[in-house]
């Protein structure tokens, strides 16, 4: 900077004003005025570093007299770099506004050149140790800056994902829950607690709806009606999956490619059953990837099981029914029961797009997460409404299978209790993705030897596949 000593300039003290904290100097090397006065401190912080060298203005003209025996020589460029590094430690990085304001002297006195040497002090420290400590401190500064940038990146990504959720109507809401009240009115059944059960009539080989306060016996009539229709028409239970649209394409990008909602049968799109299938599956992916706090203390996201420097991977996870049965109480109340869990399978891109690998290692991050989710499933269902209602749908599907296979007489009204189908919203949605950033800085011999910056991406797919065909439920 014209009219001001450059960072790292070497000067000799000629006079010192202790009260004003100013020093008269004569320049030995570096850029700036040959002589003048400089401030020795700023805001309580020393601006000068003492160098243990016997230097004079006569020595400055030749390199061989730049230092005395036993004192290490530092190149002016290195000294300037070191001074700037330590300056950053003391005062932080200057913004453009601060740089502009720093061009104006704090005090201006007539016939005096008031200069500041921006060269922080570590008193009586040898140059070698100063270099080492500064490099380590600079590494810490770099890491702090990277951490701040990473937090800013995460905030930006979170805002983008929230905008996507709103645009594509993602997220479970109370108004999505189908109520029994309206259906019970059509069946002339009073439900003071809003819950109902099915009572088997042996004489007529039929079932009736009755009020109940027992959650284990309760059944959602709309879920049951839809499950009965699927069982009658398709001889199966409802199924759902979220699949990548172009996983086999060379243009496939998990951050930009879309994924499609696949319902089986297809007419489930736009029904309350289709909605709970999609919302529960999507929320499972969000929990798996750590988008939200885990519902049970001690649970970890699949990323916390992953090696940060490990390879990128794709996998799928499914809600499944591990155990299913229908019991009948002494007063002929039918009580469906299910034990649910999550299964995970690693995937690779093959000839036909994403394909399951033959064997998924038990230490795969998603397998570990699936095991923890399965272990805590019932507790999670009590804390997550969308998981609770998926379990209610599973109970209704088990009941539908039992009624159809047992040959119970069912009026046509049982198949038409569900609300009318609405137009399906957004059958294609953006992929749920997550990047993990990792940074490593290594200091060697007082310098930043190397650094390592990178991100690792993971993609999740899957859906809901109850798999009730393996259970024999008929009485």
Q: Are residues 254 and 109 in the same domain?
A: no
- CA-to-CA distance for 12 and 35, rounded, in angstroms? 9
Distance CA 378, CA 177 (A): 19
Same domain, 203 and 59: no
Asked whether residue 277 is assigned to any structural domain, the reply reads yes
Residues 273 and 333 both lie in one domain: yes
| Per-residue pLDDT, 129 | 44
Q: Which tens digit of pLDDT belongs to each residue from 40-99?
A: 776 666 777 776 544 444 444 434 433 333 334 455 665 555 555 555 554 444 444 444
| More confident of the two residues 245 and 386 | 386
Q: Is 147 a domain residue?
A: no
From 121, 139, 157, give the residue that closes a domain.
Answer: 139
269 and 263 Cβ atoms separated by less than 8 Å: yes
Contacts of 385 (CB under 8 A, 6+ apart): 172, 174, 177
Mean pLDDT estimate for the chain? 76
Q: Residues 127, 173: one domain? A: no
pLDDT of residue 97: 47
- The answer on 174 and 134 residing in a single domain is no
Does residue 174 sit within a domain?
A: yes
Q: What is the mean pLDDT of residues 419-428?
A: 80
Burial class (CB in 10 A: 0-12, 13-18, 19+), 390: buried
pLDDT tens digits, 89-143: 544 444 444 444 444 443 444 344 333 333 333 333 343 444 445 666 777 777 7
Provide the 10 A C-beta neighbour count for residue 216.
13
pLDDT tier, 27 (very low <50, low <70, confident <90, very high otherwise) = confident
Residue 332 included in any domain: yes
Mean per-residue pLDDT, 261-281:
95
Same domain membership, residue 177 and residue 129: no
Containing domain of residue 77, as a range? Answer: 10-139
Residues 26 and 173 grouped into a single domain = no
Beta-ladder partners of 36: 25
Q: Is residue 155 part of a domain?
A: no
Last residue of a domain, one of 120, 139, 158: 139
Overall number of domains in the chain = 2
- Read off the pLDDT band of 202 (50, 70, 90): very high
Same domain, 129 and 206: no
Nearest residue to 177 (alpha-carbon basis) of 137, 221, 133:
221
Q: Are residues 268 and 350 in the same domain?
A: yes
Question: Which tens digit of pLDDT belongs to each residue from 213-225?
Answer: 999 999 999 999 9
Residue 116 shares a structural domain with residue 239:
no
Q: How confident is the model at residue 467 (pLDDT cuts 50, 70, 90)?
A: confident
Q: Are residues 97 and 175 in the same domain?
A: no
* Residues 28 and 122 reside in one and the same domain: yes
Take residue 350 and report the two structure tokens written for it.
Answer: 């093959």
pLDDT number for residue 118: 36
Asked whether residue 161 is domain-assigned, the answer is: no
Burial annotation 16-25 (CB, 10 A radius, 16+ → b, else e): eeeeeebbbb
Residue 150 lies in a domain: no
In a domain, 158, yes or no: no
């Amino acid at each position: 900077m014209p009219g001001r000593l450059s960072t790292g300039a070497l000067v000799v003290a000629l006079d010192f004003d202790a009260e004003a904290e100013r020093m008269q100097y004569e320049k030995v090397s570096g850029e700036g005025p040959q002589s003048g006065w400089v401030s020795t401190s700023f805001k309580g912080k020393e601006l000068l570093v003492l160098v243990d060298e016997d230097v004079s203005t006569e020595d400055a003209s030749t390199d061989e007299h730049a230092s005395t025996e036993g004192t290490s020589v530092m190149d002016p460029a290195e000294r300037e770099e070191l001074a700037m590094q330590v300056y950053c430690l003391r005062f932080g990085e200057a913004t453009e506004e601060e740089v502009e304001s720093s061009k104006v002297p704090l005090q201006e006195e007539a016939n005096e050149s008031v200069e500041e040497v921006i060269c922080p002090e570590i008193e009586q420290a040898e140059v070698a140790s100063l270099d080492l400590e500064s490099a380590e401190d600079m590494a810490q500064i770099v890491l702090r800056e990277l951490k701040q940038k990473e937090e800013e990146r995460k905030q930006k990504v979170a805002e983008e994902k929230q905008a996507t959720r709103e645009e594509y109507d993602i997220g479970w809401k109370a108004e999505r829950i189908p109520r029994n009240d309206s259906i019970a009115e059509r069946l002339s059944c009073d439900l003071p607690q809003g819950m109902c059960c099915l009572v088997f009539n042996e004489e007529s080989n039929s079932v009736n709806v009755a009020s109940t306060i027992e959650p284990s016996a309760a059944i959602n009539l709309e879920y049951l009606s839809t499950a009965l229709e699927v069982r009658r028409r398709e001889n199966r239970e409802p199924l759902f999956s979220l699949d990548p649209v172009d996983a086999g394409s060379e243009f496939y990008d998990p951050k930009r490619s879309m994924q499609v909602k696949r319902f089986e049968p297809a007419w489930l799109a736009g029904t309350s059953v289709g909605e709970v299938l999609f919302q529960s599956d999507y929320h499972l992916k969000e929990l798996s990837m750590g988008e939200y706090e885990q519902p049970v203390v001690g649970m970890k996201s699949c990323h916390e099981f992953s090696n940060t420097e490990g390879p990128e991977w794709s996998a799928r996870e499914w809600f499944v029914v591990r155990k299913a049965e229908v019991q009948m109480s002494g007063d002929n109340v039918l009580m469906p029961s299910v034990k649910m869990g999550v299964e995970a399978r690693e995937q690779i891109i093959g000839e036909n797009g994403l394909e399951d690998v033959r064997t998924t290692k038990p230490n795969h991050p998603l397998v570990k997460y699936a095991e923890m989710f399965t272990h805590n499933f019932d507790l999670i269902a009590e804390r997550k409404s969308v998981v609770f209602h998926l379990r209610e749908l599973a109970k209704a599907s088990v009941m539908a299978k039992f009624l159809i296979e047992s040959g119970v007489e069912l009026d046509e009204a049982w198949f038409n209790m569900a609300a009318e189908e609405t137009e399906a919203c957004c059958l294609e949605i953006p992929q749920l993705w997550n990047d993990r950033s990792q940074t490593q800085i290594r200091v060697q011999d007082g310098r930043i030897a190397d650094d390592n910056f990178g991100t690792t991406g993971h993609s999740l797919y899957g859906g809901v596949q109850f798999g009730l065909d393996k259970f024999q439920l008929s009485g």
